[in-house]
A and B are shown apart, each in its own frame.
Chain A
């Protein structure tokens, strides 16, 4: 390996990449746009679920319960109606997603210690919203009843005897992301995703473009070796990848206020390992493809399954066993675990070493394969 040759190629690549307007957009614009998209728009947090209340009891207790729903922030009561049919019509139209039905004898039954009936009807087409609505609703009702049953402190002495209902109250604590902000889960993942996209798109076209335009013709008669060529092609995008990482990291922590609890050097190091993986895959695609168009198709063909089978959105343990192995050979899976671990849990090498080891081994193997492939292409 001759480093001067690699350096000459590296300089040229950086110049070309920064000179091309479209490339500048891919490098600097697209990460930011996507980061903001994921930070703001892609939000699985459920708030302000549009709700209609069908309060047939119309007592202070039932009104209090309704207020509790509204006050929780999870539900927004858009209408009150005694007529269930009318409420159902609103669901059919898609105007509301939840109907809270409080039966006529609700307050009376409650006071008498009988089973008091109320109903939460949820429109279930969006399963995430629906399941959240159900659990939030149960939570609010339970808390509200609790308050009603528990007498004011001054009366405790008198009433203790007849209100001793045995009950277990689970106390949930959510670690690392106490507010269950989906943004905290997604934005670190987006770092992994964006590094993948940028490095794949940039490298996959880089070698095949030289063949297509004809510039490779001149390069291959020079003393430049395949290893040097590939190093000279990968290095500039490695550096640009690190620039992107910094950019996304800063926007993520400063703008979106994603908590960062881990070691920043560990994040940088693992990102470097991961970049070697992603760049090698891009270069492999570039050596296999005959045209830039093919290369781009190959990138999408690779990228979609690799994103879906990485735990970025869906947990890996939910993936059917038959295809779960794909997730286990997918470098993105491991990098996601590292990024989320470092960001949110603040864990270090002692916990993350298996993932780091995978990335450290897979990268050079992939790179080796692409160098081999390049050799064969000439004949």
Chain B
């Protein structure tokens, strides 16, 4: 069964098209990643799916309800965690949870039990009376997640939930996401961390409001037609500028202190690159073929999408 289903979902703000005919589906228990740069339309899409922003065109069903016509029903079915921390810092952990339990209509008899469950799950036990203002970011994120799942939502929307959280806390947070997904919750998580996207069952890459690619991380990697070479050189800036001029090279992008060179075809061999670089007297510390990473795919898809956009008459 599909927890989320969109068809040509579009949002325009005046002339600006924030979300452009986006169609995808997320099934029950699936963790779906939304990968895209800032301003690509991730948040706008999520807001439409939560029923707080009416779509300009297209349709979206969440938990079997139409977001445009039944926004009130949607709100009982979805949990939402916004990009910006949006709980009350002048209330304690327990008070925040109690507030949302009340708003979600959890009966008073059941509140205590449910709150304990959520506290335990989010590893917040012992922090009941801590002021949220005093909690470190990682704890706050877990509390925000706790508040978002109090009412057992069918679909959980997480808008860049781990921005500003240290890696260990991020991993702990992802454990929670998996747990929820294994219990049947569909999770749509937006991110711009590649390693995080890698952990999703499926990824949708979104650029300029358009969904450019949707697939599993493995399948996405196969999309790259050419090869990926990793180059280490002292002269990264000149190498980048130089290689970008060469026909047959799709993209050159920094990868740590190294460069990733993406070729358009498999025929473009390592030997050929070595020759070109030597001719241009760019020293090579190391050059080897590497399996494509998600980041390479992302850059490739981004470029394709930009090309498509340029072709399209505006």
Interface residues in chain A, defined as those with a beta carbon under 8 Å from any beta carbon in chain B:
2, 4-5, 7-9, 11-12, 15-16, 19-20, 213-225, 378-379
The verdict on B193 contacting chain A, using a C-beta distance below 8 Å, is no
Q: A5-B105, A222-B104 are in contact. Are A214 and B88 (CB under 8 A)?
A: no
Interface residues of B in 92-114 (CB under 8 A from A): 95, 98-105, 108
Q: At the interface, yes or no: B173 with Cβ under 8 Å from chain A?
A: no
Judge whether A8 and B80 touch: CB under 8 Å: no
Q: List 23 A-B contacts (CB under 8 A).
A: A2-B105, A5-B105, A8-B103, A9-B103, A11-B99, A11-B102, A12-B91, A12-B99, A15-B95, A16-B91, A214-B84, A215-B88, A216-B86, A217-B82, A218-B80, A218-B100, A219-B103, A220-B52, A221-B52, A221-B75, A222-B75, A379-B53, A379-B54
CA distance A213 to B99 in the complex (A): 17
Chain B residues near A213 (CB, 8 Å)? Answer: 86
Give the shortest distance, in Å, between A25 (CB) and chain B (any CB). Answer: 16
Whether B18 is near chain A, meaning CB under 8 Å from some CB there, is no
Task: Among A214, A216, A220, A225, point to the contact of B85 (Cβ < 8 A).
Answer: A214
A74 to chain B, nearest CB (A): 55
If A217-B86, A218-B87, A221-B80 touch, does A8 touch B75 (CB 8 Å cutoff)? no
Residue ID in chain A nearest B76 by CB atoms: A223
B105 with A4: CB separation less than 8 A: yes
Residues on A with beta carbons closer than 8 Å to the beta carbon of B100: 8, 218, 222
* CA distance in complex: A220, B103 (Å): 11
Contact across chains for A215 and B86 when beta carbons are under 8 A apart: yes
- Quick check: B103 and A5 within 8 Å, CB to CB? yes
Total A-B pairs in contact (CB under 8 Å)?
A: 74
B99, A8: Cβ atoms closer than 8 Å: yes
Q: Is the CB of A8 within 8 A of B147?
A: no
* Contact yes or no, B88 A12, CB < 8 A: yes
Assess the B147–A4 pair: CB atoms within 8 A: no
Given known A-B contacts A221-B75, A221-B80, A223-B75, A8 and B90 have beta carbons under 8 A apart: no
Bound CA–CA A221/B52 (angstroms): 6
Please give, as numbers and ranges, the residues of chain A lying within 8 Å of B52 by CB-CB distance: 220-221, 378
Name the contact of A9 in the complex, choosing from B75, B90, B99 (C-beta under 8 A).
Answer: B99
- Whether A214 contacts B82 in the complex (CB less than 8 A), given A12-B95, A223-B75, comes out as yes
B binding-site residues for A, Cβ under 8 Å: 50-54, 72, 75-76, 78, 80, 82, 84-88, 90-91, 95, 98-105, 108, 144, 147
- Could you tell me the distance between the alpha carbons of A4 and B88 in the complex, rounded to whole angstroms? 19
Q: Which A-chain residue is minimally distant from B100 (CB atoms)?
A: A222
Task: Give the CA-CA distance A379 to B44 in the complex, in Å.
Answer: 11
Residue contact A4 to B102, C-beta cutoff 8 Å: yes
Q: Helix, strand, loop or mixed for chain A's interface?
A: helix
CB-based closest 10 A-B pairs: A8-B102, A218-B86, A221-B80, A217-B86, A217-B82, A214-B84, A223-B75, A214-B86, A12-B99, A221-B50
Nearest Cβ on chain A to B300's Cβ, whole angstroms: 34
Smallest CB-CB separation from A216: which chain B residue? Answer: B86
Distance in angstroms from A171 CB to nearest chain B CB is 63
A9–B84 Cα distance when bound, in Å, is 21
A9 to B72, CA, bound (A): 19
Per the bound structure, the CA–CA distance linking A224 and B78 in Å amounts to: 13
Residue of A with least CB distance to B159: A217
Interface pair B53/A8, CB less than 8 Å apart: no
Contact of B101 among A8, A218, A221 (CB under 8 A): A8
User: In the complex, given contacts A4-B105, A213-B86, A214-B84, what are 9 additional A-B residue pairs having Cβ atoms less than 8 angstroms apart?
Assistant: A9-B102, A11-B102, A218-B80, A218-B144, A222-B100, A222-B103, A223-B76, A223-B103, A223-B104
> A16 — nearest CB in chain B belongs to which residue?
B90
Q: Specify the chain B residue showing the minimal Cβ separation from A8.
A: B102
Cross-chain contact A7 with B102 (CB below 8 angstroms)? yes
Rounded to whole angstroms, the CA-CA distance of A136 and B53 in the bound complex is 70
Q: Which of B72, B78, B99 has the most CB of A within 10 A?
A: B99
Q: Across the two chains, which residue of chain B brings its CB closest to A215? A: B86
Q: Do the beta carbons of B98 and A8 come within 8 Å of each other?
A: yes
Q: How far is the CB of B253 from chain A (nearest CB, A)?
A: 34
Bound-complex Cα distance A12 to B92 (A): 11
Kindly provide the distance from the CB of A208 to the nearest chain B CB, expressed in whole angstroms: 15
A218 to B159, CA, bound (A): 12
A215 to B133, CA, bound (A): 13
Q: Specify which of B84, B85, B88, B98 is in contact with A16 (CB 8 Å cutoff).
A: B88
Residue among A12, A19, A218 having the largest count of chain B Cβ atoms under 10 Å: A218
In the assembled complex, the Cα of A379 lies from the Cα of B147 at a distance in Å of: 25
> Contacts A15-B95, A222-B100 known; A215 to B87 CB distance under 8 Å?
yes
B78 to chain A, nearest CB (A): 7
CA distance A12 to B89 in the complex (A): 12
Chain A residues, Cβ within 8 Å of B78 = 221
- For residue B102, which residues in chain A have a CB less than 8 angstroms away from its CB? 4-5, 7-9, 11
Q: Do A217 and B84 touch (CB < 8 A)?
A: yes
Smallest CB-CB separation from B85: which chain A residue? A214
In Å, the complex CA distance between A4 and B53 comes to: 26
Closest Cβ–Cβ distance, residue A23 to chain B (whole Å): 10
Bound CA span A369–B212, Å: 44
Out of A19, A215, A223, A379, name the residue touching B105 (CB < 8 Å).
Answer: A223
Chain B nearest Cβ from A198, distance in angstroms: 20
CA distance A254 to B78 in the complex (A): 56
In the complex, the chain A residue whose C-beta lies closest to that of B89 is: A213
Nearest chain A CB to B155's CB is how many angstroms away?
11
Q: A20 — nearest CB in chain B belongs to which residue? A: B90
List the A side residues contacting B144 at CB < 8 Å: 218
Instruction: Give Cα distance in the complex from A298 to B84, angstroms.
Output: 28
Nearest CB of chain A from residue B12's CB, rounded to whole Å: 12
A12–B80 Cα gap in the complex (Å)?
Answer: 20
